[in-house]
Amino acid sequence: MTASPPAGGAVPWPARPQVPSAHALYLHLPFCARKCAYCDFASWATRDDDPLVVAYVRALRAQLADLEGLGVLGSVTTAYVGGGTPTLVGARLLGELVADVRRRCSRLTELTCEANPDSLGDDMLEALAESGATRVSIGVQSLSDRELVSLGRIHGAREACERVSAAVESGLDVSCDLMCAIPHQTEASWRESLAGVLGCGVGHVSVYPLAIEDKTALARRLGGTDPAWNDPDVQASRMAQAALILSGAGLTRYEVASYARPGKQCAHNRAYWTGVPYLGLGTGAASMLTREGYLHLRTCCPQLPDPPAGAVRVRLTVRTGRRGLARHPSLAGLSCDLEFLSEREALAEDLMLGARLSSGIAPELVRSAEQTMGERWRQALRDALRKGLVANACGGALAPTERGWLLGNELYGLLWGLARA
């Protein structure tokens, strides 16, 4: 039996491991003008005229062509060009890449490009709209110049507002990323950042507490101390403030960090949270495939090993670096980290992802957990209900509570713990 999800829609659990091909496509452009102080993503400071940029984009396009030849793009309904800073590569190159994705994925209904304000000129907006992008996700992070400097961002608040407004006027759907619990931030400045992006007319906002990652410039600057501005209580209070302000402005929280006006949810991100298989291209990019999808991909990636018996899901992360990929774009030469998941592990993963959504863990997923995990599931459920992390919701769904979201690590850890047999 095979199942085919609607655009951006979830597939009920029992059918998920049988979905034959990817329905979401991610392309990673790992270039940035400068490395931000807090960033541990796969991204490197690169001059926009570095010949590597052109060669890398050409390599991604060659891989896209190979995947189309393999027949695995026919089911793709959402695409996301992320980074890094995709807009750093310039309007012509990014426009050509977007147009290529459009051409090769005939069922596409949503195509997002990540952007930073400093490389989102009018020419870029025009190129994105003309080449078939439908959405732009802008890394604003803050509308306080002092906070932006402390994060190592290269844009200023005025430039950010100006470019977000221009993006809204261009007719693309616009999302902004904002960060809380950052240096120098106060309740008042956080409110101003939220009000500022809302004032530009965006339809989608994502808010994240800053995570201080090891080996970043910020972690070195802090020298192992835990700053008061990043305290868990500060994070919780800023996230609660965001929930009030954004919902007051008509944006509904549909995921722990995501708010949208009606019809403006990100279908691509929803695919990640609802167990829809996805393909990731580019250095550091991740794919999640069913066993069947993996076996199909292996026909042009003979370097990939046989999946072990019992594996129903495979996660692949591209380890080939940006230079290696630019030199040798062949899929057959890609080096990947692999993780094979059993049915139980895949189910636990989907329970954990479902708990990120305000709609919660879907009723059929709850039923499958009960059938597959029995007493282990019932015990975890009792714990989660007793601690107030989840609540019973309509139709047999299980919805995260505000407390569950605030104590996300505890809730997700409890659900992921079910992966152990």
Q: Give the DSSP H or E segment for 273.
A: helix 267-273
Return the closest-CA partner of residue 333 out of 279, 278, 283, 277: 283
Give the number of C-alpha atoms closer than 13 A to the C-alpha of residue 280, restricted to the C-beta side.
25
Q: Which of 3, 41, 243, 399 binds ligand SF4 (CB under 6 A)?
A: 41
**43 forms part of the interface with ligand SF4 (CB under 6 A):** yes
Indicate the Cα dihedral angle 259, 264, 267, 270, nearest 10°: 20
Shortest Å distance, C-beta 305 to ligand SF4: 31
Q: Which of 36, 60, 180, 285 binds ligand SF4 (CB under 6 A)?
A: 36
- The stretches of 170-266 forming alpha helices (DSSP H) are 187-199, 217-222, 232-248
**113 forms part of the interface with ligand SF4 (CB under 6 A):** no
54 within 8 A of 307, measured Cβ to Cβ: no
Residues 131-170 that bind ligand SF4 (CB under 6 A): 139
Q: Residue 39 or residue 390: which is nearer to ligand SF4 going by CB? A: 39
Residues 293-322 that bind ligand SF4 (CB under 6 A): none
Q: Residue 99 or residue 154: which is nearer to ligand SF4 going by CB? A: 154
Q: Residue 68 or residue 145: which is nearer to ligand SF4 going by CB? A: 145
Chain mean position to CA 417: 23
Q: Which of 32, 260, 285, 312 binds ligand SF4 (CB under 6 A)?
A: 32
255 within 8 A of 269, measured Cβ to Cβ: yes
Q: Residue 218 or residue 326: which is nearer to ligand SF4 going by CB? A: 218
Classify residue 305 by its DSSP letter. P
Q: Residue 31 or residue 412: which is nearer to ligand SF4 going by CB? A: 31
Shortest Å distance, C-beta 268 to ligand SF4: 18
Rounded-to-integer distance, Cα 361 and Cα 233, Å = 27
Rounded-to-integer distance, Cα 266 and Cα 350, Å = 18
Residues 71-100 that bind ligand SF4 (CB under 6 A): 83-85
> Angle at Cα 43 formed by Cα 91 and Cα 57, nearest 5°?
40
- Among the residue ranges 35-43, 251-259, 313-321, 328-336, the one whose residues contact ligand SF4 (CB under 6 A): 35-43
Q: Which of 24, 39, 72, 79 binds ligand SF4 (CB under 6 A)?
A: 39
Q: Give the DSSP H or E segment for 385.
A: helix 375-386
Q: Residue 17 or residue 86: which is nearer to ligand SF4 going by CB? A: 86
Rounded-to-integer distance, Cα 239 and Cα 318, Å = 33
Q: Which of 75, 116, 131, 142 binds ligand SF4 (CB under 6 A)?
A: 116
Shortest Å distance, C-beta 263 to ligand SF4: 27
**44 forms part of the interface with ligand SF4 (CB under 6 A):** no
Q: Residue 10 or residue 148: which is nearer to ligand SF4 going by CB? A: 148
Shortest Å distance, C-beta 216 to ligand SF4: 9
Structure tokens at 321: 């670096």
Shortest Å distance, C-beta 28 to ligand SF4: 10
Shortest Å distance, C-beta 279 to ligand SF4: 21
Q: Residue 33 or residue 331: which is nearer to ligand SF4 going by CB? A: 33
Tell me which amino acid residue 130 is.
E
Would you mind telling me the total number of residues written for the chain in this entry?
A: 421
What are the Cα distances from residue 288, in Å, to 74, 127, 256, 329, 369? 17, 30, 22, 20, 21
- Among the residue ranges 32-40, 164-172, 317-325, 404-412, the one whose residues contact ligand SF4 (CB under 6 A): 32-40
- Among the residue ranges 37-45, 185-193, 207-215, 278-286, the one whose residues contact ligand SF4 (CB under 6 A): 37-45
421 within 8 A of 372, measured Cβ to Cβ: no
Question: Which distant-in-sequence residues (6+ apart) come within 8 Å of 121 by Cβ?
Answer: 91, 163
Task: Please give the size of the binding site for ligand SF4, defined by CB under 6 A.
Answer: 11
358 within 8 A of 404, measured Cβ to Cβ: no
Rounded-to-integer distance, Cα 166 and Cα 188, Å = 26
Q: Under the rule (CB under 6 A), what is the footprint of ligand SF4?
A: 32, 35-36, 39, 41, 43, 83-85, 116, 139
